[in-house]
Structure 1
Amino acid sequence: MSDVKIFGLRELKKRETRQEISNQATRLFIERGFEDTTIAEIAEAARVAKKTVTNYFPRKEDLAFDHHEDFVAALARIVAGRSPGESAHAALKRAYLEAAGRQDPMLGFTHDGFGQMIAQSPTLVARLRELLEQQEEALARTLAAETGDQGTRPRMAAAHLAAPYRVLLHRIMELTLEGVDDARIAETVSESAREAFDLMEPSLGGYAVR
């Protein structure tokens, strides 16, 4: 067997192990609560050593937000990948409406008690707030690079452009906990997103046009 194939199998095994740990952690968090679930219990459920869990997930919160790197980079990637002639504002509005239409978990759509798990854990609420701040910071860095402006404008623009994503994520979670179905939630937040982005159009509609 070639070294390349062996390496590929090892990477596949690592991904499978990581996913199994994440799946078991999420199940236990939902059943028992984040605060009351230990790393040792997760390791036992996933049939791995406790050290294996911490090697894959250095922070316990990362077991709940296992795709946090993608979440933090999401808005920056949308802006970096915008079409010629498209502004950062237009790209983020378009992307939000598309994601709401498919009920994307990155916007806050959750199932099977995941949203309630987050809402009931002060630690996870704080971590989510931290991730949202990092998401805005990543967007600001991209706007600065795209416009060549190292002043305060990219940070100010990022704060405004990220606001609909941040505010509506919390709204989605609220509606989910109230028992509103996903289709209705998607319709509600899409309307709110249009209103929010339209409100920003006069000031940011022409900013960072590719």
Structure 2
Amino acid sequence: MAEPEGSDQITGLRDLKRERNRVLTAETAWRLFIERGYDNVTVADICAAAEIAPRTFHRYFASKDDVVGEPVRYMTSLMAEHIAGAPAGMPDQAVLRSAMHKLGVFVVEHRDWLGALRTVIQNSVHLRESHQGVPPEREQEIIAMLAARRGESGEPGWRQRLLVAYAVTAFRIWHDEYLRGKVSDPLKQLDEMFATIEATESRPGLEGHSLGGK
């Protein structure tokens, strides 16, 4: 049966509203985590502050732990958009470098907020154990995105896996040093870190084996 005229627009508006409500719920939870500490905030507290029912909260998040992972989800979506929009002939290496730079801009623009959340994680034993950088499934998503833009399928090769591991590790180190106030020119340093990776990959003995290739 054909969809009613305008149904796509209605669905799009519903998705937009859902995403907006998800973000507002997450922001409310983060504010409480920052004010009281993660371990002292319950889902009921979040629902009361956001003026929503528990069932509404659970439409967006399985638990309050999922709320803490929301920045990673959002940053992964930024990467997905950037990778999908990269020119078809651009090497994976260059695509990742530009995508990580874009994430760096996001971090710089939201430094206070991300720094506060970092403190929340450090002050919670549970979060310190469960939020140790980018989870493996996120790395797999990035690898899959790079493969998809080349029209490839199947298991990724070790070179692509190593390339993504390099990029994720470099970004994690940069992110940590920046939020700790150890970086004076953050975006320049981020670019320098990726230039160092590329120089390492192209050193003698690895010619013809660039990690950015297929």
1:6 Cα deviation from its structure 2 partner = 6.1
Q: Quote the offset at 1:27 in angstroms.
A: 0.6
Partner of 1:66: 70
Displacement of 1:78 after TM fit?
4.5
Decide whether the 8 Å contact of 2:160 with 2:211 is kept in 1.
Answer: no
User: What's the CA shift for 1:22?
Assistant: 1.4
Counterparts of 1:18 and 1:149, CA distance in 2: 33
Distance change >3 Å, CA 9–CA 71, structure 1 → 2: closer
**Matched positions, count:** 200
Q: Which moved more, 1:68-77 or 1:58-67?
A: 68-77
Q: CA deviation at 1:9?
A: 5.7
User: Shift of residue 8 of structure 1?
Assistant: 5.9
User: Does the 8 A contact of 1:132 with 1:166 survive in 2?
Assistant: no
Q: What SS does structure 2 have at the residue aligned with 1:27?
A: helix
Q: Judge conservation of contact 2:79–2:100 (CA < 8 Å) in 1.
A: no
TM-score, normalised via structure 1 length: 0.72
Distance 1:54 1:190, change over 3 A: same
Match of 1:208 in 2: 213
Q: Which residue of 2 aligns with 1:157?
A: 163
Matching residue of 1:138: 141
Residue aligning to 2:91 = 87
Paired AA for residue 114 in structure 1: L
Q: Larger relative CO (CA 8 A, sep 6+): 1 or 2? A: 1
1:29 aligns with 2:33: yes
- Mind listing any 5+ residue stretches in structure 1 that lack a counterpart? none
Identify the match of residue 120 of structure 1 among 113, 119, 123: 123
Deviation digits for residues 141-193 of structure 1 (CA, Å, limit 9, x no counterpart) = 34555356734343233323433223322223333xx7x7xx63334434333
Normalising to structure 2: TM-score of the pair? 0.71
Partners of 1:35 and 1:121 within 8 A in 2: yes
Q: Which residue of 1 aligns with 2:172?
A: 166
Cα pair distance change 1:3/1:157, threshold 3 Å: closer
RMSD: 3.5
Q: Percent identity?
A: 23
